[in-house]
Amino acid sequence: MDSRYLNVFLEEASEHIENLNSNLLNLEKTPSHEVVEEIFRSAHTLKGMAGTMGFNKISELTHEMENLLHEIRSGNFPVTGSVVDVLLECVDLIQKMIDKISIEGNEGQVEINAVIDKLRRLLEGERGLPSKQSSGEVEESFNEFELRIMEEALKKGLKIWEILVKLNDDCLLKSARAFLVFKALENLGEIIKTKPHVQDIEDEKFENEFYIYLVTSKSEKEIMGAVNSVSEIKSVTVKEIKISAGINKIGESESSISKQSTPAPDKINDKNKVKNTTKTLRVDIERLDNLMNLVSELIIIKTRLEEQDKSPEHAQRRREALEYLARITSSLHDAVMKVRMVPIENVFNRFPRVVRDLSKELKKQVNLIIEGAETELDRSIIDEIGDPLIHLVRNAMDHGIETPEERVKKGKPKEGTLKLKAYHDGNNVVIEVSDDGCGVDLEKVLEKAQKLNLVDKTQGKKLKENEILNFLFESGFSTKEKVTDISGRGVGLDVVKTKIESLGGSVEIKTRKNEGTTFLIRLPLTLAIIQALMVELGKEKYAIPLNSIKEIVILQKEELKKVQNNEVILLRGNVVPVLRLHDILDISTDESGEETFTVVIVKKGDKEVGLIVDNLLGEQEIVIKSLGNFLKNIKFIAGATILGNGQVALILDVNALI
């Protein structure tokens, strides 16, 4: 199969799955005609796509979903929690198969019959028809014409049989086999109806089984024999249909049931208009990267031009040209960045589902509030941030929010609140995950930290709140006694932290006992171009990202103090440790008798560290480039950039230094 189509299929399928998920949740909360329409459309498109790609299980499953949705759409079927449950289950299975396809190229051994059964049972149950088990009753509704034939047949002493024919799973020419079965049965009597419709069977629009309703004087045995004479038949079930006046009654009661249960679709909700799926342009990320590289080159050229702007001739004109170039590059930069920006909605959208499932599982009542979903972030960050967020949400639901009983006891509303909030803050995007649960028990955390030998008893008492909270990010740390499926296995927060730091961000916890916990994730807007301070160390040049610099101070030599062999400085009354970058980066220095030294104060969260450098070279816009796979694990270095003169300068990884 052409992998190009496969990729498009996978991408579109995940979009539809996302749509289905969020719309199904909408449907549960506020059923409306539009939502059903939207769900139906997604399921239908999925079915078509899967069909063309030859993923039969998906198309079969979506087909069954469609049947149910069709009933809902036409108002014959009320939307209940269990309906949504089953539909969500279907969506999960489809997701599973899509995942399999993306890895293995086929749908794998996903079991779909159970859920299809559930769908069918729902439909049948609602139609007011008896379930399959009670044999001899009419399962299928017949139209008036068919009923008349049947009645007449019965009068003549003929019998009506329902024949369920199952073909072998590997049967190739299904419609041909079906045709042979028809032929065989037509010799015995009259076929009054088939399910699916004859036309569909001829077009092979059926799975491996079909029903035939036969009017005949022959016995069950003869029918079986006739069908079994056709090869590639897996099984035949023959059942006599006892027709009575009851059929009509069933038909009537059916309509009366549906009348009662049909919600008036228009009245329910007009406000909750389904959001149109945003029109997006699919752009290959590689092409975008390429565009980004071009812009990077432009910026490098700009810097080079700036450096050459020294001769007095034409200085004015050159400056103007430069300014123009600067303007173009920055707007080009913005434009390209915007192409890469995706609203965080794409990530947040999966949370209503996660929260719904978890609250059922944990038997907690949780209200999810999402704010700032329109906040935009670089695509590469969006792709990575989902897992850490899911983790934090699970944590909040498992550890944070209490059970309804506990909450009532504490005088809180029964329903807990979980809030996901995103907003811009300077050059950062902040994502908050907060709950109004029980908060982090600092004493318990400290106790556990001591047990794990992360800190000894006497030191422990001196620790500040945020220092204790930081233990939560140690690997293997969990205060929950009970290990649950959801969280508490001790793998978690450390992974979250590592992930976010690898994206150039940071995590912070704020907590108040019995009032709740907030996780603050700070992420850079983009990973590609940053403002940096260029510094000189010996003969080497390094870049320090500007957003991690707090200030720069020039101090006299005697202001450098020693505390327990660590060098520190006093900055407005605060003790700030200092690091000699020369030593850390193995740069030889000539300890000349300079009287002053320059300290760049960098920060990470609340922590500050001073870095001693030789010279400041000024601020510059730099393009971050990776050192490549060969050198990917170099400590203290976050990447490299190309300077105006074509030389490479390394970017310091401030997070690793602190």
Partner 1 sequence: MEEIRQFVVFKLGQEEYAVDIMHVNTIERMMPITRVPKAPDYVEGVINLRGEIIPVIDLKKRFGLASGEVTADTRIIIVMLDDLTVGMIVDSATEVVQLPQDSIEPPPSVAGNISSDFLEGVGKIGDRLLIILNLEKIMRPGEAETRAAM
Residues 280-299 that bind partner 1 (CB under 8 A): 293, 296-297
Shortest distance in whole angstroms from residue 640 CB to partner 1:
5
For residue 78, which of 274, 259, 272, 250 has the smallest C-alpha distance? 259
Q: Which is nearer to partner 1, 165 or 650 (CB)?
A: 650
Q: Catalytic: which of 19, 23, 395, 655?
A: 395
Which listed residue (179, 211, 473, 636) binds partner 1 by CB under 8 A? 636
655 scored as a contact of partner 1 (CB under 8 A)? no
* Burial zone of 137 (CB within 10 Å; 0-12 exposed, 13-18 middle, 19+ buried): middle
Which listed residue (242, 625, 644, 658) binds partner 1 by CB under 8 A? 625
Q: Catalytic: which of 66, 107, 384, 621?
A: 66
Q: Per CB under 8 A, which region of 320-328, 365-373, 470-478, 631-639 contacts partner 1?
A: 631-639
Residues 496-555 that bind partner 1 (CB under 8 A): 540
Q: Per CB under 8 A, which region of 116-124, 280-288, 354-362, 621-629 contacts partner 1?
A: 621-629
Q: Per CB under 8 A, which region of 62-70, 311-319, 462-470, 642-650 contacts partner 1?
A: 642-650
For residue 429, which of 530, 521, 336, 527 has the smallest C-alpha distance? 521
Spatial CB neighbours of 320, under 8 Å, sequence gap ≥ 6: none
Plot region of 609 (φ>0 → left; ψ -120 to 50 → alpha; else → beta): beta
Q: Which is nearer to partner 1, 211 or 636 (CB)?
A: 636
Q: Which is nearer to partner 1, 229 or 293 (CB)?
A: 293
Shortest distance in whole angstroms from residue 645 CB to partner 1:
9
648 scored as a contact of partner 1 (CB under 8 A)? yes
Shortest distance in whole angstroms from residue 289 CB to partner 1:
12
Q: Is the dihedral of CA 168, 171, 176, 180 positive or negative?
A: negative
Shortest distance in whole angstroms from residue 651 CB to partner 1:
11
SS3 (DSSP) at 513: coil
Please calculate the CA angle 463-466-472 and round it to the nearest 5 degrees.
100
Q: Per CB under 8 A, which region of 105-113, 274-282, 518-526, 629-637 contacts partner 1?
A: 629-637
**CA distance readout (Å), 176 to 171, 179, 180, 366, 571:** 10, 5, 6, 55, 88
Rounded distance, CA 193 to CA 32, Å? 35
Q: Per CB under 8 A, which region of 106-114, 396-404, 413-421, 581-589 contacts partner 1?
A: 581-589
Q: Which is nearer to partner 1, 138 or 544 (CB)?
A: 544
Rounded distance, CA 406 to CA 417, Å? 14
Q: Which is nearer to partner 1, 377 or 581 (CB)?
A: 581
Shortest distance in whole angstroms from residue 61 CB to partner 1:
38
β-bridge partners, 161: 214, 240
HSE, CB side, 13 Å, CA atoms: give it for residue 649: 26
Q: Which is nearer to partner 1, 382 or 612 (CB)?
A: 612
Q: Which is nearer to partner 1, 586 or 595 (CB)?
A: 586
Q: Catalytic: which of 44, 202, 559, 582?
A: 44
β 596-604/549-556 pair status: antiparallel
Q: Per CB under 8 A, which region of 148-156, 343-351, 390-398, 633-641 contacts partner 1?
A: 633-641
Which listed residue (164, 337, 390, 627) binds partner 1 by CB under 8 A? 627
Tokens 């140690």, residue?
Answer: 474
Rounded distance, CA 453 to CA 448, Å? 8
Rounded distance, CA 643 to CA 204, Å? 66
Q: Which is nearer to partner 1, 191 or 298 (CB)?
A: 298
583 to 602: interface string for partner 1, x by CB under 8 A: -xxxx---------------
Spatial CB neighbours of 226, under 8 Å, sequence gap ≥ 6: 184, 185, 187, 188
Q: Is the dihedral of CA 486, 490, 493, 496 positive or negative?
A: negative
Contact criterion met (CB below 8 Å) for 467 and 509: no
Which listed residue (230, 609, 650, 654) binds partner 1 by CB under 8 A? 650
Q: Which is nearer to partner 1, 94 or 543 (CB)?
A: 543
44 is catalytic: yes
The token duo for 6 is: 């496969």
Residues 296-355 that bind partner 1 (CB under 8 A): 296-297, 300
Q: Per CB under 8 A, which region of 53-61, 119-127, 398-406, 625-633 contacts partner 1?
A: 625-633
Residues binding partner 1: number (CB under 8 A) = 27
Tokens 């972030």, residue?
Answer: 377
Contact criterion met (CB below 8 Å) for 39 and 17: no
Which listed residue (7, 331, 514, 626) binds partner 1 by CB under 8 A? 626
Shortest distance in whole angstroms from residue 590 CB to partner 1:
17
Contact criterion met (CB below 8 Å) for 500 and 486: no
Contact criterion met (CB below 8 Å) for 228 and 189: no
Rounded distance, CA 442 to CA 511, Å? 9
Q: Which is nearer to partner 1, 411 or 628 (CB)?
A: 628
Strands (E), 127-264: 159-167, 189-195, 209-216, 233-241
Shortest distance in whole angstroms from residue 647 CB to partner 1:
5
Give Cα 277 distance to the centre of its chain.
16
Which listed residue (642, 654, 655, 657) binds partner 1 by CB under 8 A? 642
Which listed residue (291, 579, 637, 658) binds partner 1 by CB under 8 A? 637
Shortest distance in whole angstroms from residue 548 CB to partner 1:
19
Q: Which is nearer to partner 1, 496 or 602 (CB)?
A: 602
11 is catalytic: no
Q: Per CB under 8 A, which region of 396-404, 451-459, 470-478, 620-628 contacts partner 1?
A: 620-628
Spatial CB neighbours of 409, under 8 Å, sequence gap ≥ 6: none
Q: Which residues would be at the binding site for partner 1 (CB under 8 A)?
A: 293, 296-297, 300, 540, 584-587, 625-631, 634-637, 640, 642, 646-650
What positions carry a catalytic annotation? 44, 66, 395
